[in-house]
Amino acid sequence: MNLFLLQTSGYFAYLSAAATGITFLTGILFFSVGKPFGKINDISSILQLVSMIPLTVLFANIIPAHPPLLGWIIALLGAGGMLVSIVGQSLLVVGVIDFQGSRKFFPAGGAIGLWLILVCLTGSASGQLEGLAFWPGLLAGAGYLATVLGFLFGGQDHPAFYLGGSLLGISYPIWAVALGMLINAKGL
């Protein structure tokens, strides 16, 4: 594996953890207080998603190729969800669309959740992910899925939206920090 990719992936894992924490906190502040936290939340979520993309490439390179190309198929699923979400959030931040217009991009988060779950399951099966680099990732993936489903079935007032968002906001940073530490310690 490319040493540069491996070394930088650890830093991107940490960056995505920090950005997710900021996104989670500003999301809470936006829904409870209002402006200006919505814009801060949107910008930090773009940073969160952009910093996750190198992780898709990392896992595509380390997931065992049984069946062939499995790692890249999983990576395309995750990166696709991330890119669609980045486009939606970016259009919202620059004012091309409003919140209502951004809603159609929200289901892409489901692809990110599936990516996280698949990465954790295949990484665990191959012995590369365990403990804090496994369980919180599964929970974060489930959080993405619950958030999307809650949003689709009841908007941001649906309990699954808040439960999923909380699960994601707490679990993903733990997973990403553990992943960064694992990359730095073992080189996966």
Q: Are 143 and 171 in contact (CB under 8 A)?
A: yes
Count of CB atoms within 10 A of residue 116's CB?
Answer: 30
| Tens-digit pLDDT profile for residues 15-24 | 999 999 999 9
Q: State the pTM of this model.
A: 0.92
Fill in the DSSP letter of residue 128. S
Q: Which of 25, 54, 58, 1 is nearest to 170 (CA)?
A: 25
| Tens-digit pLDDT profile for residues 142-176 | 999 999 999 999 888 899 999 999 999 999 999 99
Count of CB atoms within 10 A of residue 42's CB?
Answer: 22
| Tens-digit pLDDT profile for residues 106-118 | 999 999 999 999 9
Share of the chain above pLDDT 70, in %: 96
Averaged pLDDT, 35-55: 93
Distance CA 187, CA 113 (A): 24
- Residue 60 contacts by C-beta under 8 Å, 6 or more apart in sequence? 71, 72, 74, 75
